[in-house]
């Protein structure tokens, strides 16, 4: 069934005008109301020319540890913890998210993004992982929030010595029971 106009240029409601509204009949006798809303020209001009709110500048730092000690070199297979701290004037920032990235990548996306972690109430975010053998660089990027601008840490380098550690894994599955009462074990 075609749409039927039910109102044109209705009087202003708050700061919006209804440009047009239509009702149409859908399946099983349902009616749909579609309204197009627009700001009055003066309101639109004021909104589009308003300066964006300024956000407070933040500082992001990155610490790299293994077994709770600062590191720049570890043996292959060791767990490394990247810990970001985000502050404004020395005070912890929360809420927010931190991206942990490989450097010197131009952007912290795709394969260069190691993890995205929520900031704690203490303004820290931590990521634990086992880096592969070789030379690596890492940085932390605070994504910002409603009141605080994003920031990035400097890069930290890590040398992972030794051969790449390969961990063997195997999966087995077995079943037991009877019709309607199966049990699977892996």
Domains and CATH numbers, the chain: 4-49 (no CATH), 59-161 (2.60.40.10)
Query: Can you state the percent helix, strand and coil of the chain, rounding each to 5?
Result: 10, 50, 45
* pLDDT tens-digit map of 157-181: 999 998 765 666 777 887 888 777 7
pLDDT along the chain (186 residues), means of 10: 47 43 48 48 47 84 97 96 97 97 88 96 97 95 96 96 73 79 74
Residue from 157, 155, 114, 164 nearest 136 by CA: 157
The predicted structure's pLDDT at residue 171: 79
The predicted structure's pLDDT at residue 56: 96
The predicted structure's pLDDT at residue 167: 63
The predicted structure's pLDDT at residue 16: 41
What are the Cα distances from residue 126, in Å, to 58, 82, 107? 18, 6, 20
The predicted structure's pLDDT at residue 11: 46
């Amino acid at each position: 069934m075609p749409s039927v106009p039910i109102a044109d240029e209705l009087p202003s409601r708050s700061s919006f005008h209804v440009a047009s509204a239509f009702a149409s009949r859908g399946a099983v006798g349902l009616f749909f109301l579609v309204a197009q809303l627009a700001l009055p020209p003066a309101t639109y001009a004021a909104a589009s020319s308003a300066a964006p709110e300024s956000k407070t500048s933040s500082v992001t730092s990155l610490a790299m540890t293994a077994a709770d000690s600062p590191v720049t070199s570890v043996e292959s297979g060791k767990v490394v913890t990247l810990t970001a701290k985000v502050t404004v004037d020395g005070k912890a920032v929360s809420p927010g998210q931190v991206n942990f990235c490989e450097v010197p990548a131009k952007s912290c996306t795709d394969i260069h993004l190691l993890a995205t972690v929520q900031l704690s109430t203490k303004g820290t975010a931590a990521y634990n992982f086992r880096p592969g053998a070789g030379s690596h660089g890492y940085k932390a990027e605070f994504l910002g929030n409603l009141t605080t601008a994003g920031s990035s840490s400097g890069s930290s380098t890590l040398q992972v010595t030794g051969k790449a550690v390969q961990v063997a894994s195997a999966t087995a599955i077995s079943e037991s029971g009877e019709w309607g009462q199966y049990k699977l074990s892996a």
